[in-house]
Amino acid sequence: MGDNIGKFTYMDSRYYWKDGVAYPSVTTILSAYPKPYLIEWRGNLGNEAADKIMKEAAEKGSAVHSAVEKALRYGAKIRWYQPGEQYAPSDIVVDDQFTYISILKIARWFEIVQPRVVKTEFVVWSPKYDFAGTVDLLVEIAGGTYEVNGAKPLELESGYYIVDFKTGRTVGAEARMQLGAYAAACEKKGLKGGLIVHTQSQNRKGVEGLGTTLVANLREEFARFRAVQTVWKMYQSANRPEPVELPLEIIIKHTHNQKQKNRKES
């Protein structure tokens, strides 16, 4: 698990700095996984419109993750925006319906499963396998049956689970491989599996619109991730950023003001 790791974007890819090395993120590596459905969707919609939709979706997803993290880490209250209402500085005020409903579904998930939160939004990295990433949640769950996956209840063993929240329309194979990679980097003893909590599920029973997928075969998913990583490295490893020492102060030198000063003095 990571300490003192910086996250940054380089040429539209996400990296993490650790001990002078830039580790590509798990999601960046998984961008090499084929997505024929996405190509067709872009072709039907057009790149400009598709980029706009994906950007808006990413922003809403980030808002959901941020709100849940602050609620778990600091006990912040998540409140729906109402004009004229007074809010505490610690309140998380949401004015987007999609974001608010997504958070509400996740809150219901916590009420039903009642996990013990071990860590939230923490970085893991693997020098051995050359990647890093941010895990949404590590929890301990008591064994039992939970109504968080539609008509078919979810049966879980007692133990630790990595949890990943998804707010997109679909949950593809990449989500499973992502958890496999996190598990390999995390190296948590007693880890029983991964849980993908999806807030745009088509489920109508249990918590409507909420699905929870158990990923028990994390080693197999990690093996698939490594295969994708091999493909990614074939095309992207040459673009890896090198360590750069940034100045603590930036001064922009220009001549305009100096010319004006000289005119006044003359």
What are 207-221's pLDDT values in tens digits?
899 999 999 999 999
**232 domain residue, yes or no:** yes
Taking CA atoms, 37 is separated from 27, 50, 144, 177, 212, in Å, by 18, 13, 36, 18, 23
Q: What is the pLDDT of residue 254?
A: 78
**255 domain residue, yes or no:** no
Instruction: Say whether pLDDT at 35 is over 80.
Output: no
If one counts every other C-beta atom within 10 angstroms of the C-beta of residue 36, the result is: 7
CATH of the domain at 174: 3.90.320
Question: pLDDT (tens digit, 9 = 90+) per residue, 111-130?
Answer: 999 999 999 999 999 999 99
Provide CB contacts within 8 A for 216, sequence distance 6+: 192, 193
CA distance 51 to 131: 26
**Number of domains observed in the structure of the chain:** 1
Range of the domain at 136: 6-239
CA distance 27 to 61: 14
**43 domain residue, yes or no:** yes
Q: What is the mean pLDDT of the chain?
A: 87
- Answering whether pTM is above 0.75, one says yes
**113 domain residue, yes or no:** yes
Q: What is the mean pLDDT of residues 38-52?
A: 66
**84 domain residue, yes or no:** yes
Instruction: Say whether pLDDT at 262 is over 60.
Output: no
Provide CB contacts within 8 A for 234, sequence distance 6+: none
**214 domain residue, yes or no:** yes
Q: How confident is the model at residue 145 (pLDDT cuts 50, 70, 90)?
A: very high
Question: pLDDT (tens digit, 9 = 90+) per residue, 230-247?
Answer: 999 888 766 667 766 667
Q: What is the mean pLDDT of residues 102-119?
A: 97
**246 domain residue, yes or no:** no
Q: What is the pLDDT of residue 41?
A: 56
CA distance 146 to 159: 15
Q: How confident is the model at residue 2 (pLDDT cuts 50, 70, 90)?
A: very low
**117 domain residue, yes or no:** yes
Minimum mean pLDDT among 36-40, 124-128, 254-258: which range?
A: 36-40
